[in-house]
Structure 1
């Protein structure tokens, strides 16, 4: 696949999360990724989780969102002005928050956080899986005895 990218800023508000998620989905679908595919749904969820973290922990400052398709990987980056790095902690069953980084870790092949001159950048990479079409046979190897 040809390298593609999308970069934009949103305000640090909860309303901006849904707007940015829709914008990223529209962008990656414009790159040829099929609407409703598991990779598009995964990118949407990862984008929401990274943005929600930024909104909750960085204040009202602007948040930068980037999505890049390079080879067989979509990379989502969310940058904000807070120097505080997110920490992975184990939420209890009663906690209403705290699962976002677990979701990102479960869905991404790689993820990390980097400090920047103006704050931090959280990123995750999602593989572009070639899903079988209704016309292609599904090959499932069986174990040998």
Structure 2
């Protein structure tokens, strides 16, 4: 697959999370990912979780979202102006918040947070699997006699 890149400036509002998630999904569907790949839905969920954390904890400062496709991996990056690094917690089963980083860790093959000159960047990498679809012919070599 050809390398692809998307970068979006985001207002620090809860409504922005939904809008940006839809923008990211619409863009990456055009990158040639397999139609039956679960990577698109995984990227949408990871984007939502990382962006929600930035909106809730970084305030109204500048936030940006980037998605990059390189080889067989989509990397999602969310940057904000807060120097405070996120810390995953262990929420009680009745808690309505606190699971975002755990979800990201479960879905990504790699993830981390990096400090930047203007704050921090949280990122996660999601593999793109190339699985045959029911409509794809399978080529099985026959043994020679």
Q: What TM-score do you get using the length of structure 2 for normalisation?
A: 0.90
Q: State the partner residue of 2:141.
A: none
Q: State the partner residue of 2:123.
A: 123
1:71 deviates by: 0.2
Deviations 1:114-143 (A, max 9, x none): 0000000000000001133013589xxxxx
Deviations 1:39-96 (A, max 9, x none): 1000000000000000000001121000000000000000000000000111111111
The farther-off stretch of 128-137 and 71-80 is 128-137
1:27 deviates by: 1.1
1:93 corresponds to 2:93: yes
Alpha-carbon contact 1:46-1:124 (below 8 Å) kept: yes
- Helix, strand or coil for the counterpart of 2:47? helix
Q: State the partner residue of 1:57.
A: 57
- Helix, strand or coil for the counterpart of 2:79? strand
Alpha-carbon contact 2:37-2:130 (below 8 Å) kept: no
Aligned length: 138
The structure whose Rg is larger is 2
> How many angstroms apart in 2 are the aligned matches of 1:82 and 1:17?
18
Unaligned runs of 5+ in 2: 139-145
Alpha-carbon contact 2:34-2:130 (below 8 Å) kept: no
1:20 corresponds to 2:20: yes
> How many angstroms apart in 1 are the aligned matches of 2:89 and 2:8?
30
**Correspondence list, 1:1-145, <5 A:** 1-34=1-34, 37-136=37-136
Unaligned runs of 5+ in 1: 139-145
